[in-house]
A = this chain, B = another copy of it.
């Protein structure tokens, strides 16, 4: 089985874990760079397809989390230890920051610290309140993380098609939420451009809280369905 969500193959103090952390960083870098550099009318396509590809590349190296909401959920269901999760989340956010720094070098009108010409910033579209944005992001993160659980941990799992199904979950989510919130479903993707372009901080916390809530809701559903993993309440392993 390809190793979706699997972090058992390496200990916290090991070269393999260092490589896994680097894979999470590079995976989010690619995913965030691709998603935010694409034309906005094809954002749903670019988000979904680039997530599928990044998960295919990293699944056997780091388990292909690539999303702090996934990592927080899997800490709660015992599929990753606390310290590993902390390192993963830090790497995911650093990856997103690097993606937008590279963008400032490669995209003509993107500049560090300048919201004008910035790419990948999330904010509610006109007429959408913070509460509505919160609701949309809870739902789509719940769907995304639930799909991750279903294809990776469900018995039987969905094997080789898993990363594709995860990409389709984001793709579908972005058709639904794109016209209202932009369809992030990933705290790293919100924090990366907010930090690099120093923009829309008043909305960033709404998105991040909603996404964590969506991930935790999915973890709560996962527990009765799939049980707890071996790393439950472990500081490290």
Q: What residues of chain A have their CB less than 8 Å away from a CB belonging to chain B? A: 1-3, 19, 30, 33-35, 37-39, 42, 44-46, 48-50, 52-53, 56-61, 102, 105-109, 127-128, 132, 135-136, 139, 143, 146-147, 150-151, 154-156, 158-161, 163-165, 167-169, 171-173, 175-180, 224-225
Contacts and interface: CB of A to CB of B under 8 A. Distances in A.
A130 to B, nearest CB: 12
Nearest to A136: B106
Contact of A158 (B56, B107, B108, B132): B56
Interface centre among A49, A59, A102, A179 (most CB of B within 10 A): A49
Given A38-B178, A46-B175, A60-B154, 17 more contacts: A2-B156, A33-B139, A35-B176, A37-B176, A37-B179, A38-B176, A39-B179, A42-B44, A44-B45, A48-B49, A50-B175, A50-B176, A52-B165, A60-B150, A105-B132, A163-B165, A164-B164
A178 B30 CA distance: 15
Given A147-B53, A150-B60, A34 B165 contact: no
B156 A105 contact: no
Identical subunits present: 4
Contact of A168 (B53, B161, B179): B53
A107 B180 contact: yes
Contacts of A171: 45, 49
B53 A165 contact: yes
The secondary-structure label for the interface of chain A is helix
Contacts of A165: 52-53, 56, 163-164
